[in-house]
Structure 1
């Protein structure tokens, strides 16, 4: 029992957010199925079961267009904050640490510790790759989900055109349509706004006990410290 309790405590963030994600995804699927079936009934088509709806391009595009923007947010934030700073924000490094920092600061090579990851203590390509692995994975997830969104979106767009007795368009042509960029940019702008707002608000506002906030009593000009 103690082991289970310890596991739940040590992994609280991933477990709670993972469960909330699955619950929200399930709720989205139910709402999406209802809305899609209403559209089908309005044109005299047969309604889909829940399982059938999960395999549709409509569900896929609604999911992936949100995923790609989230991963874009993290990818951009990871790489941008290597060089960019924001005075007073806990989302920023200290002002004098802009850049990739020294091997000593990053605990790599000869400065690696006993508990450091193995690739942090070796040189060459492996260390260079591991040093950027988080950003690379976030970029690949963004690129993959953006591609999936474009494929599913092209299928939905083609279906809508067929209902209007128009020919569907190839995937490459769909990438140039207003429909694709409307879906894409409405998510990008919201994510960029959220990141920028958080960086600025955290200069002057506090959340006691959160690592995303400075200590309540920290000066507004204090940069790169967490509560």
Structure 2
């Protein structure tokens, strides 16, 4: 029987979202403040003028550092959602069964409680069936563009501080800086996926939906 939201308080219904959104906001503010201080120290050392805090929030330094992290997280989640459709890892709590049919693979059936694209059918349903991965990859592309804009802008700001001419976007993309920033974030996200996929084979966390039951055999695949 479906859960009845009115039975629970607002926090109980949304606790995960509230806590992690609060942590996101707190750490984003902390990043902005410390990044502002760090950037101004570097600018002043090179003979430039310090930025006010609000001006810093529009700077390439802030955009680059912020979206550099965003894009890797959205890439991680998009890849994870897509790869777990067809790939398996025996014994992992994060994998579908090696041979049994899964509930997530069945075709959607219209009902009164189903999301409206399911009830509508047609092209809306075709898109909705892949909407999670579409959303993550869309957010990844937007964040990648934000990182590129910020890194390119910050690079040219540094060029001016060094009394050098700004570079074109094409020239900037031919240099290693942007790609170094990109790949160092991507590899860390792929490592975190490998970690949770593999470690859930042998390790447990009682009460977590990301873990198998504590007494489950190591080679039991899925939850």
* Shared fold (TM-score, shorter chain, > 0.5): yes
Structure 2 Cα separation of the partners of residues 47 and 190 of structure 1: 33
Asked if 2 retains the 8 angstrom alpha-carbon contact of 1:107 and 1:120, the reply is: no
Does the 8 Å CA contact 1:68/1:146 hold for their aligned counterparts? yes
Higher deviation after alignment, 125-134 or 167-176: 167-176
Equivalent-residue separation in structure 2 for 1:157 and 1:51 (angstroms)? 20
1:105 to 1:79, Cα distance in 2 relative to 1, 3 A: closer
Aligned to 1:132: 130
More relative contact order, 1 or 2 (CA 8 Å, 6+ apart): 2
Moved more, 34-43 or 21-30: 34-43
Q: Report the Cα offset of residue 55 of structure 1.
A: 1.5
Structure 1: gaps spanning 5 or more residues: none
Instruction: Please list every run of 5 or more consecutive structure 2 residues that lacks an aligned counterpart in the other structure.
Output: 1-5
The aligned length equals 218
Q: Which residue of structure 2 lines up, in the alignment, with residue 106 of structure 1?
A: 106
What is the aligned counterpart of 2:15 among 9, 12, 15? Answer: 12
Matched, 1:24 2:22: no
What is the SS of the residue equivalent to 1:11?
helix
User: Scaled by the length of structure 1, what TM-score is found?
Assistant: 0.89
Stretches of 4+ moved more than 6 A in 1?
A: none
What is residue 83 of structure 1 aligned with on the other side? 86
Are residue 57 (structure 1) and residue 60 (structure 2) matched? yes
Q: After TM superposition, give the deviation of residue 223 of structure 1 in Å.
A: 1.1
What is the aligned partner in structure 2 of residue 67 from structure 1?
A: 70
Provide the TM-score with structure 2 as the length reference.
0.91
For the aligned residues, what is the CA RMSD? 2.1
2:3 aligns with: none
- Which whole-Å deviations, capped at 9, do the CAs of 1:116-168 have from their partners, x for residues lacking one? 11222443311110000010010000000001111111111112222233322
> Match for residue 167 of structure 2?
169
Say whether residues 1:37 and 2:40 are aligned partners: yes
SS in 1 for 2:206: coil
In the TM superposition, what whole-angstrom CA distance separates every residue of 1:185-207 from its partner, at most 9, and x where no partner exists? 00000000001111000110001
For 1:150 and 1:105, the matched residues in 2 are separated by: 37
Matched ranges for 1:146-165 at <5 A: 146-165=144-163
- CA distance in structure 1 between the aligned counterparts of 2:50 and 2:149, rounded to whole angstroms: 23
